[in-house]
Copies of this chain bind each other. A is one copy, B any other.
Amino acid sequence: MTSAQRMAAISPFIVMEILTRARQLEGAGRDIIHMEIGEPDFPTPPHILKAAAKALREVDIKYTPAGGLPELRRAIAGFYEHQHGIRIDPQRIFVTPGASGALLLVLGMLVDPGNSVALADPGYPCYPNLVRLYGGVPVRLAVDAGSAFNLTASLLEARWDAAMAGIILASPANPTGSIMQPDVMQSLVDCVESRRGFVVSDEIYHGLEYGTPTQTALSCSDTVFVINSFSKYFGMTGWRLGWAVVPMSAVDVAERLAQNMFIAAPTPSQWAALAAFDPENLVELERRRQQFAERRDVLCEGLQRLGFLLPAKPEGAFYVYADCRHVTPDSRAFALALLEEAGVAVTPGLDFGINHPERYLRFCYTASSQRIREGLDRLARFMRARP
C-alpha cells in the first residue's frame, strides 16, 4: 500500500509498545505496576455514572447540534465564570470527541501546509503529529528547568520567522507537570499575537494543580484557542468528550468544520458530562485531587532518594519527568529492562521529543500511593542489581 507522505513522519508512541508488553507480561501472570499511561486508576465518578444511566432511561440518544448540547455549552461557560471569573459566550464553545477532537478541529482551522508551529520540547507527542497531518511543520523549541520546562516569549522571539504561524502551549504540561506563571503566559501570548500568530492553549490538565492554580489563556486574550476535556480532572477518559473555546470571529468556521469532521460528539457522554459541574461531583474531584497531590509527593521523594534529579518540581497533571543522567545513559533501554526484570512500566523520554530524551523517564502517578511505593521498592532493587 502507498500511504500519504505525511504518514512517514507520524511516529508510533513508545508508550504503546511498553503498554503492549506490560499486558503480555500480565497475561503470563506477572504483576505490573503501571506508571506509563496517562490514565488514572480512579473509576468514573459515581455521580457521572448515575447521570449517564438516567439519560439512557429518559433521553432519546440522537445527534446533538455539531457544537454540542446547548445545556452543556452553557454549563461549560458557567464553569469558566465560576472558576476563572471569565464570561464566555456559549456559542464559542465546541464540544468534541475528546480533546483529541478539539485539537483536530482547531489545528484544521488554523494550519496551512508549510506553516511552522512552535512547540515545547519535551511535549505531548500528538502535537507534532497533528500539525503534520495538516501539512504543517512542527518547530520544537528545547525547554529545560531554567524556564520550568515552559515556552517563553524570548525563546519564541529568537526563533520567529515568516513561516511561523502560531504556537501550542500547555499548562499544566505533559510530560513535565509544569505550570506556566501568569506573567510568562501573558508575555508569550502577546508576543505571538503581536506577530499575528495563533495561540492554541491545551488546558486538558486544568484542575489537577497542587500549588498555585493555573490560569486559562482566555485570561490573557479573547482571541486564543483553548483545548480542554472531561478526561483528566473530571475522570471521564473512556467517555471521549472534550471541548474547544474559539474566538468569536472563528465560530462560523469552527461550526462548518465540526459538522464535517464529527457530525457531533457522543450524546450519552454529553448527558453524563452535564453532571460533572454539580457540587456533589466537585467534592469527589477535590478528594481525588488531594490524593494526586499525596501521590506526587511520594513519587518525587522516592525518585530523588534513588538519585533521579527533579530540577523543577512538577506542579500539575500527574506526571514526573525525571532526569536519570546519574542512573543510566539510555532511558529507553532502562525502561524496557525495568519492565522485564522488575515489572514496573514507565515511559522513556523518546516519546516527547528530541531534547535529550535519553536522559529522561516519565513516571505517571496514576496508581495508588501504595502501588507507587511498591514500584519505588522494585525500582530500587532493580538499580542495585544492575552492574
Asked if B240 and A112 make an inter-chain contact with CB atoms under 8 angstroms apart, the answer reads: no
Q: Is the CB of A62 within 8 A of B250?
A: no
* Residues in A1-52 with C-beta less than 8 Å from chain B: 1-7, 10-13, 16, 39, 43-44, 49, 52
A61 lies within 8 A of B44 (CB): yes
A368 sits at the interface (CB 8 A) = no
Contact partners of A238 in chain B: CB under 8 A = 60-64, 264, 266-268
Most buried by B among A13, A66, A112: A112
A98 to B66, CA, bound (A): 13
Contact status of A7 and B109, CB under 8 A, knowing A100-B262, A135-B135, A196-B2: yes
Residues in B neighbouring A343, C-beta threshold 8 A = none
Contact stretch, chosen from A252-260, A286-294, A322-330, A370-378: A252-260
Q: Is B237 a contact partner of A63 (Cβ separation < 8 A)? A: yes
In the docked arrangement, what's the CA distance between A249 and B7, Å? Answer: 14
Q: With A1-B223, A56-B52 known to touch, is A104 a contact of B7 (CB < 8 Å)?
A: no
Partner of A10, one of B5, B223, B257: B257
Name the distance in Å between A184's Cβ and chain B's nearest Cβ: 24
Roughly how many angstroms separate A4 CA and B257 CA in the complex, as a whole number? Answer: 11
Give, as a whole number of angstroms, the nearest-CB distance from A360 to chain B: 21
> What residues of B have a CB within 8 angstroms of the CB of A101 in the complex?
97, 262
Interface residues of A in 223-270 (CB under 8 A from B): 223, 236-241, 247, 249-250, 253, 255-257, 259-269
Inside 8 A of A43's CB, which chain B residues have their CB?
60-61
Instruction: Give 1 or 0 for each of A81-118: 1 = CB within 8 Å of chain B CB.
Output: 00000000000000001101100100011111100000
Residues of chain A in range 155-181 having any CB-CB distance to chain B below 8 Å = none
Residues from chain B with a CB closer than 8 A to the CB of A267 are 238-240
Q: CB distance B97 to A262 under 8 Å? A: yes
**Which residue of the partner chain, among B11, B44, B109, B110, contacts A256 with CB atoms under 8 Å?**
B11
Contacts of A2 in B (CB 8 A): 196
Copies of this protein in the assembly total 2
Do A237 and B62 touch across chains, with their CB atoms under 8 A apart?
A: yes
Which residues between 107 and 165 of chain A lie within 8 Å of chain B, taking CB atoms? 108-113, 125-126, 129-130, 133-135
The docked-state distance in angstroms from the alpha carbon of A49 to that of B79 is 31
- Given known pairs A60-B43, A266-B238, the reply for A259 and B12 (CB within 8 Å) is yes
Determine if A53 is an interface residue (Cβ-Cβ < 8 Å). Answer: yes
Say yes or no: B247 contacts A266, CB within 8 Å.
Answer: no
Q: Which residue of B lies closest to A269 (CB)?
A: B266
A101 to B262, CA, bound (A): 7
Q: What is the CB-to-nearest-CB distance from A221 to chain B, in angstroms, rounded to a whole number?
A: 12
Q: Do A112 and B269 touch across chains, with their CB atoms under 8 A apart?
A: no
Residue of B nearest to A272 (CB): B268
Complex contact A1–B249 (CB within 8 A): yes
Q: How many angstroms between the C-alpha atoms of A16 and B238 in the bound complex?
A: 30
Closest CB-CB distance, A300 to chain B, in whole Å? 26
**A108 / chain B contacts, CB cutoff of 8 Å:** 4, 6, 133
A362 smallest CB distance to B (angstroms): 17
Interface centre among A125, A133, A249 (most CB of B within 10 A): A133
| Given A61-B236, A238-B64, A3-B263 contact (CB < 8 Å) | no
- Shortest Cβ distance from A281 into chain B, in angstroms? 15
Q: Which residue of B lies closest to A19 (CB)?
A: B65
Q: Can you list 12 A-B contacts with CB-CB less than 8 angstroms, sorted by A residue number?
A: A1-B223, A4-B108, A4-B109, A4-B134, A7-B109, A10-B256, A53-B53, A53-B57, A97-B101, A104-B261, A240-B263, A240-B266
